[in-house]
Structure 1
Amino acid sequence: MGGKVMLASVFAALLMGSSLSDAQSFHARGRALDGDTLAVDIRLLGIDAFETRQMCERWNGCWSCGKAAQDLAARALRDAEAVITLTPSSTYGRPVATVTVRGADLGETLLRAGLAIPQAQYLRRDPARRARYEAAFADAQGRRAGAFAGTWLPPARWRKGERLTCERRQ
């Protein structure tokens, strides 16, 4: 199955370390990958990654920082088992979780690559993760990694329709 995330009450119970009699359920939008394999949208806790179609700007023009974020997440999940830890909150009607792949926190990986920004307000109950995420973000900015090598918009502003000058010229 590789990095595919499957949704079923049994699978959710196994993820949360519960027995079948303790099966938990959650509401999520899913899509069928085939007849017996479903994928579900899960929002990563504590980060806001650049949107798939979002552009950032470097000295030589616009580049697809959002696609780079999506590609990094896809590469991390490919052919690896992900440990998905659901949180009690939800954002945008989706389950919220932390995801660990090969021992690495996927949110922190995106931050360190300069392809996401931290959302500290969602990490109040996890001060250690908050500190790691803020340190990863500061490190990426200091190294001018990913989007931080040039001009970028926070994903929330991009979702509201704001665009960089280079995007408006295209």
Structure 2
Amino acid sequence: MRSVPWSRPRRFRNPLGAIVTLLAIAALAVLVGLLQPPAPRLEGAARAVDGDTLRLGDARIRLTGLDAVELEQHCTDRAGAGWACGKAARDFLASAVGEGKTLCRSEGRDRYGRTLARCSVGGDDLGDAIVRAGWATADLDYGLALAEARLKGRGIWAGSFDDPAEWRQRHGGESFDFWGWLRGWFAP
């Protein structure tokens, strides 16, 4: 009986060649990352649009690493009373920005055309300040600030609230779109 050459599983004949190929691909990826131009800087007087969005000149900037309650969103305190936590989050960001010069480092764009950035005023990270004060949920970048806000019952953590992404989805606002987010990284 004759064996069919394509019926057997193929194995790397030279494992060293496969390793060298993988290392070359990894080195190329690192090199491309190093050759990227520095992230554009935006600076000047900013104003708070909501709890995680700034207007700096003509640029609309969405702070990365966090998700603040929406401007029209309401929360419930421990006694069960509703309160305008979205407006309080915006007011906190407006206070944090103040009259100082805001410096933002762009990290791309979202599907709505907003600049995604990390911003600071006087060297203080605005994202860290918002999360630490309890006005936003956050990813791992602000994990310690989030833990502190929750532990101390600050801001939205003083009672109950709807997750901002879920609130937007129920009220017809934005919701996370992975493919839109990914396209934003490659948009000019």
Q: Is TM (by shorter chain) over 0.5? A: yes
CA distance change for structure 1 residues 140 and 41 in 2, over 3 Å: closer, same or farther? same
Aligned equivalent of 2:122, options 99, 102, 105 = 102
1:158 paired to 2:178: no
Task: Please name the residue that 1:165 is paired with.
Answer: none
Tell me if structure 1 keeps the 8 A contact 2:106–2:115.
yes
Runs of 5+ unmatched residues, structure 1? 1-11, 17-30, 32-36, 121-129, 163-170
User: 1:62 maps to which residue?
Assistant: 82
Alpha-carbon distance change, 73 to 91 in structure 1, aligned in 2, over 3 angstroms: farther
The question of whether the paired residues in 2 share the 8 Å contact of 1:84 and 1:97 is answered with: yes
Once residues 109 and 41 of structure 1 are traced to their aligned partners in structure 2, the CA distance between those partners, rounded to angstroms, is 20
Q: 2:98 corresponds to which letter in structure 1?
A: R
How many angstroms apart in 2 are the aligned matches of 1:102 and 1:91?
Answer: 30
Name 1:23's counterpart in structure 2: none
Letter in 2 for 1:110: I
Q: Which amino acid aligns with 2:83?
A: W
**Count of residues in correspondence between the two structures:** 121
Superposed CA deviations along residues 61-103 of structure 1, whole A, max 9, x for unmatched, are 0111111110111111121001111013535321100000122
Q: Is the 8 A contact 1:50 1:65 kept in 2?
A: yes
1:74 maps onto 2:94 in alignment: yes
1:1-170 to 2 correspondences below 5 Å: 15=42, 38-58=57-77, 59-120=79-140, 130=141, 133-161=142-170
Structure 2: unaligned runs, 5 residues or longer: 1-38, 44-54, 172-188
Amino acid at match of 2:161: W
Q: Which runs of 4+ in 1 moved over 2 A?
A: 12-16, 37-40, 88-93
Q: Distance in 1 between matches of 2:40 and 2:111?
A: 21
Structure with more relative contact order (C-alpha pairs < 8 Å, separation 6 or more): 1
Take 1:92 and 1:134, find their aligned partners in 2: how far apart are those partners? 26
Return the TM-score normalized by structure 2. 0.58
| TM-score scaled by length of structure 1 | 0.64
| 1:103-155: CA deviation from partner (whole Å, max 9, x where unpaired) | 211111110111001134xxxxxxxxx1xx00000100000001101111110
Contact 2:40/2:106 (8 A) holds in 1: no
Which residue in the other structure is 2:178 paired with? none
CA distance in 2, matches of 1:96, 1:151: 28
- Report percent identity of matched pairs: 37
Evaluate the alpha carbon distance shift between residue 57 and residue 45 of structure 1 in structure 2; reply closer, same or farther with a 3 A threshold.
same
RMSD: 2.3
